[in-house]
C-alpha cells in the first residue's frame, strides 16, 4: 500500500516564518498579564482595609540559625526594635559550638528588656536542617502566633504590626510578604535586585492573579501553631524540598487564605561572587522543576528575550527587529518600574534597568540547565531529589557529581 504525505499548505499567503513570529510573540502575552497583575496587586493592597494597631496578640518570632550571616547582629537587632507590645525572639542553633552564639549573647546584653531565647537541636533523621530546627522552634515557642523568618532578614519597627494584622480575619491562615535585597553597591547585588523584581516577583504576582497565593516566601511566614499542626508541622517536611513554599501550599489546601503583602523587609542576600548567585538560582529553579513540573516547563513562554532573538534570526527585517526588541524592552521596563518603584518603593531602579537583558539571558540559561540536574547543594551538603520531592543526602564520596 502506497501512503502519500502531502506537504503542508498554509491558507492564503501565510509563510511558515509568519507563523513562527506569531508563536514567538507569546511571551508578550505573559508580560501583559504580569503587568496587569502587578498593577492590580499594588492598587488592591493600598486600598485594602486592614486591622489597625489594636490587633496585637502575643507573638513568637522564630529563626533557624546556622553560622554567621553578613551583618548578623544588625539583622537580629532589628527584631528587637519592634513597635509591638508583647513578643519574644527564639533562635535555634545546631550546637554550642556555632560561631553565631557570641552575636546572640551580645544581642541579649544590648536588649535586656526583650525576651530572647536560644535553643539547641536538630534531628539527624531529617535531610533538611532548617525544617528540623523549625520543628523544635514551633514546640518551644510560648505563643500561638508564629513569625517564621530567615536569619538574614532585617526589618523596620512597624514589621510585626504590619504582618500580624491580617490574622485578625479567621479566614486567613498564613501571611507572607515580598522582600528587597540590601544595596551593597556591587554589580552582583544590583544584578540580583533587578532579577528579583523583574523576574521572581513578576511571576509571583502573576500567580497571585491567576491562581491565588498557594505558597509562602521564607523571608517571612506568619501563621499559628494550630495551622501548622493540621498538616503535621515542620516535622512532616524534614525530608521535603522547599519547606517555605510547602507551608503555604498545605495551609491553602485546607481552605485558608494565604495573604501576600507588599511589605518589604530588607533581606541581605550576601552574594560575594557570581558563582554564589548562580548556585542559588540554579538550586531554586531545580527545586521548582520537581515541585511544579508543568509550571516549570511553561517558563518557555516567559523567555521574551530568547524568542525575540529567534524571531529576528528567522526574519531579520527592520520592522521585526524594532517590533520585537522594542516591545520586549517596553514590557520589561514597565514591569520592573511598576513593582520596584511604585509597589516596593525601591530607589536606584532606573540605573539598573540596563541589566534587564543580561538578567533575562542568565535566567534562560539556568532554566535550560535545570533540566539536567537531579541534585541540589545546600550549605555543605549535597542532596539527591527523589520522586515526590524527597531529599536524600548524598554520601561524601559521591558528592563531586552534580548531575
pLDDT tens for residues 344-360? Answer: 888 889 999 999 999 99
The per-residue pLDDT for range 66-123, each reduced to its tens digit, is 888 888 999 999 999 999 999 999 999 988 889 999 999 999 999 999 999 999 976 5
Strand order through the sheet with 375-378: 375-378, 381-385, 391-393
Residue 132 has pLDDT above 70, yes or no: yes
Predicted pLDDT at 377? 67
Structural contact between residues 160 and 87, judged by C-beta atoms closer than 8 angstroms:
yes
* pTM of the complete model: 0.86
Q: State how far the Cα of 266 lies from the Cα of 25, in Å rounded to an integer.
A: 36
Instruction: Report the pLDDT value the prediction gives residue 403, as an integer from 0 to 100.
Output: 38
- How high does pLDDT run on average in the chain? 86
What pLDDT score was predicted for residue 102? 95
pLDDT over threshold 60, residue 23: yes
Number of Cβ within a 10 Å radius of residue 397: 6
Q: In a 10 Å sphere around its CB, with 0-12 CB exposed, 13-18 middle and 19+ buried, how is residue 66 labelled?
A: middle
Percent of the chain with pLDDT over 90: 59
In the chain, pLDDT over 70 holds for what percent of residues? 86
pLDDT band for 183, please (50, 70, 90 cuts): low
pLDDT tens across 240-268, in order? 778 888 999 999 999 999 999 988 787 77
Of the pLDDT bands very low, low, confident and very high (cuts 50, 70, 90), residue 374 is: confident
Please report the pLDDT score of residue 95 as a whole number. 86
pLDDT at residue 114 in the model = 96
Quick one: pLDDT at residue 135? 92
Looking at per-residue pLDDT, the higher value among 2 and 238 belongs to 238
What distances in angstroms separate CA 362 from CA 180, 232, 367, 394, one per listed residue? 20, 38, 9, 28
Check residue 360 and give its pLDDT: 97
pLDDT tens-place string over residues 156-173 = 999 999 999 999 999 999
Query: How is the beta sheet containing 59-64 ordered, strand by strand?
Result: 115-120, 87-93, 59-64, 145-148, 221-224, 172-177, 257-261
Residue 162 φ then ψ, to 5°: -70, -40
pLDDT of residue 4: 47
Amino acid at each position: 500500500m502506497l501512503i502519500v504525505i502531502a506537504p503542508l499548505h498554509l491558507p492564503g499567503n501565510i509563510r511558515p516564518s509568519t507563523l513562527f513570529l506569531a508563536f514567538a510573540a507569546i511571551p508578550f502575552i505573559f508580560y501583559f498579564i504580569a503587568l496587569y497583575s502587578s498593577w492590580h496587586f499594588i492598587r488592591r493592597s493600598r486600598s485594602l482595609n486592614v486591622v489597625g494597631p489594636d490587633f496585637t496578640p502575643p507573638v513568637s518570632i522564630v529563626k533557624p540559625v546556622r553560622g554567621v550571616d553578613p551583618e548578623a547582629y544588625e539583622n537580629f537587632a532589628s527584631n528587637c526594635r519592634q513597635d509591638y507590645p508583647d513578643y519574644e525572639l527564639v533562635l535555634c542553633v545546631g550546637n554550642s559550638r556555632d560561631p553565631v552564639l557570641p552575636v546572640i549573647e551580645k544581642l541579649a546584653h544590648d536588649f535586656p528588656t526583650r525576651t530572647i531565647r536560644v535553643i539547641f537541636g536538630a534531628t539527624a533523621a531529617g535531610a533538611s536542617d532548617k525544617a528540623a530546627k523549625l520543628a523544635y522552634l514551633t514546640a518551644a515557642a510560648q505563643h500561638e502566633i508564629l513569625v517564621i523568618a530567615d536569619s538574614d532578614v532585617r526589618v523596620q519597627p512597624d514589621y510585626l504590626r504590619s504582618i500580624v494584622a491580617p490574622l485578625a480575619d479567621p479566614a486567613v491562615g498564613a501571611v507572607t510578604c515580598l522582600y528587597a535585597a540590601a544595596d551593597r553597591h556591587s554589580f552582583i547585588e544590583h544584578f540580583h535586585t533587578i532579577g528579583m523584581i523583574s523576574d521572581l516577583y513578576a511571576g509571583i504576582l502573576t500567580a497571585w492573579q491567576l491562581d491565588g497565593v498557594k505558597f509562602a516566601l521564607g523571608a517571612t511566614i506568619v501563621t499559628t501553631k494550630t495551622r501548622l499542626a493540621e498538616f503535621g508541622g515542620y516535622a512532616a517536611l524534614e525530608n521535603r524540598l522547599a519547606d517555605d513554599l510547602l507551608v503555604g501550599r498545605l495551609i491553602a489546601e485546607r481552605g485558608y487564605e494565604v495573604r501576600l503583602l507588599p511589605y518589604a523587609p530588607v533581606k541581605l542576600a550576601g552574594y560575594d561572587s557570581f558563582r554564589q548567585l548562580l548556585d542559588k538560582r540554579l538550586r531554586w529553579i531545580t527545586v521548582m522543576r520537581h515541585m511544579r513540573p508543568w509550571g516549570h516547563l511553561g517558563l518557555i513562554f516567559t523567555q521574551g528575550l530568547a524568542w525575540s532573538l529567534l524571531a529576528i534570526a528567522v526574519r531579520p527585517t527592520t520592522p521585526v527587529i524594532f517590533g520585537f526588541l522594542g516591545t520586549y524592552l517596553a514590557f520589561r521596563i514597565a514591569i520592573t518600574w511598576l513593582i520596584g518603584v511604585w509597589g516596593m518603593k525601591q530607589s536606584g531602579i532606573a540605573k539598573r534597568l540596563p541589566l534587564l537583558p543580561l538578567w533575562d539571558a542568565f535566567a534562560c540559561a539556568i532554566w535550560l540547565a535545570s533540566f539536567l540536574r537531579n541534585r541540589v547543594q545546600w550549605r555543605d551538603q549535597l542532596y539527591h531529589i527523589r520522586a515526590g520531592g524527597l531529599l536524600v543526602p548524598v554520601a561524601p564520596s559521591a558528592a563531586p557529581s552534580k548531575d
